[in-house]
C-alpha cells in the first residue's frame, strides 16, 4: 500500500512539470502527506486543472464519508471492476503529484521508514482516481485514491505493493477522457527500479503531525551499551 508520501515541489515547479496554465489553489511543500489530508491532484475539466482533494476516496453513492478511511489505495488489477472505483476509473482519473513515498522495513522489533524517490529526485505522478460526494445538506467533498501495483526489485524487500508511478509519456493517456480500460491497464505497472533510489528516513514520519525537512534525515543508530 501507499500510506505516506512527500510533495516538496513549489507551486511554480508543479505548474511547469504538469503543464498547468494556473494553479487555482494554494500549494505548500509537504514531507509527510497522510490519509485524510487535502493534497493537490491534477485532473481534466476542459483542460488540466489542479485541485485540493482529500486523500481517501468517498464514492459518489456512499452514505457515510468515513468510508474514505478504508479507500486510500486501490489495486490496479481490480479497480476497474470494484464498485467503489469502477466509475472513477472510467471517467475521473487524475495525477497525484509527489516526489517520494514511504514504506517501513523491519529491523528487529523496530520498523524503519524508507523513502523511495526517482534517482534524479524529480517530481512524478501517482496514478489516481477521484470522485465527488454530496452531503445530505448539499455540501460537496472531492476525494482521491492512489492506485497500487506489484513492487519492483527496489521496493520488494520492504513491501509487497507499491504505488503506480506513471512515466511522463503515460500521463496524457491516463488523463485522456476517451481512453478505454484495455488501453489503460498496460500503464499500471511497477516503475523502473533502476531509475529509483531508497534512503532511510526519520522515525518522526510515524506521526502525521510531523511535517518538515528533518523527516528526511535518518535516526542516529543506537549505540550498544558498554559493560562496566
- How far lies 88's CA from each of 72, 92, 147, 179, in Å? 14, 4, 12, 13
**Whole-angstrom Cα distance, residue 147 to residue 151?**
12
Task: Verify whether residue 150 is a known catalytic residue.
Answer: no
One of 94, 103, 150, 220 is an active-site residue; which one? 103
Residues of 151-172 as b/e, b for ≥16 C-beta within 10 angstroms?
A: bbebbeebbebbbbbbeeebbe
Element (H, E) at 13: helix 11-17
Which are the contacts of 213, defined by CB distance < 8 A and separation ≥ 6?
8, 31
Task: Verify whether residue 171 is a known catalytic residue.
Answer: no
Q: In the chain, where do the E strands start and end?
A: 5-7, 30-33, 38-44, 48-55, 73-75, 93-98, 100-107, 110-118, 124-134, 140-149, 162-163, 165-166, 196-200
Residue with cell 497525484: 96
One of 2, 171, 183, 225 is an active-site residue; which one? 2
Residues labelled as active-site residues? 2, 103
Amino acid at each position: 500500500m501507499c500510506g505516506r508520501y512527500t510533495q516538496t515541489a513549489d507551486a511554480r515547479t508543479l505548474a511547469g512539470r504538469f503543464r498547468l496554465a494556473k494553479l487555482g489553489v494554494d500549494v505548500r511543500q509537504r514531507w509527510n502527506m497522510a490519509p485524510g489530508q487535502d493534497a493537490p491532484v491534477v485532473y481534466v475539466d476542459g483542460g488540466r486543472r489542479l485541485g485540493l482533494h482529500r486523500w481517501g476516496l468517498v464514492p459518489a453513492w456512499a452514505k457515510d464519508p468515513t468510508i474514505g478511511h478504508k479507500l486510500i489505495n486501490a489495486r490496479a488489477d481490480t479497480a476497474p471492476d470494484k464498485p467503489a472505483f469502477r466509475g472513477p476509473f472510467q471517467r475521473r482519473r487524475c495525477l497525484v503529484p509527489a516526489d517520494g513515498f514511504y514504506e517501513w522495513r523491519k529491523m528487529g522489533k523496530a520498523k524503519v521508514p524508507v523513502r523511495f524517490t526517482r534517482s534524479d529526485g524529480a517530481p512524478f505522478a501517482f496514478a489516481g482516481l477521484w470522485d465527488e460526494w454530496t452531503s445530505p445538506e448539499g455540501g460537496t467533498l472531492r476525494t482521491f485514491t492512489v492506485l497500487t501495483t506489484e513492487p519492483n526489485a527496489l521496493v520488494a524487500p520492504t513491501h509487497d505493493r507499491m504505488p503506480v508511478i506513471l512515466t511522463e509519456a503515460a500521463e496524457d493517456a491516463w488523463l485522456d477522457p476517451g481512453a478505454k480500460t484495455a488501453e489503460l491497464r498496460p500503464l499500471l505497472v511497477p516503475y523502473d527500479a533502476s531509475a529509483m533510489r531508497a534512503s532511510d528516513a526519520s522515525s518522526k514520519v510515524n506521526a502525521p503531525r510531523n511535517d518538515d525537512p528533518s523527516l528526511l534525515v535518518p535516526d542516529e543508530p543506537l549505540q550498544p551499551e558498554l559493560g562496566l
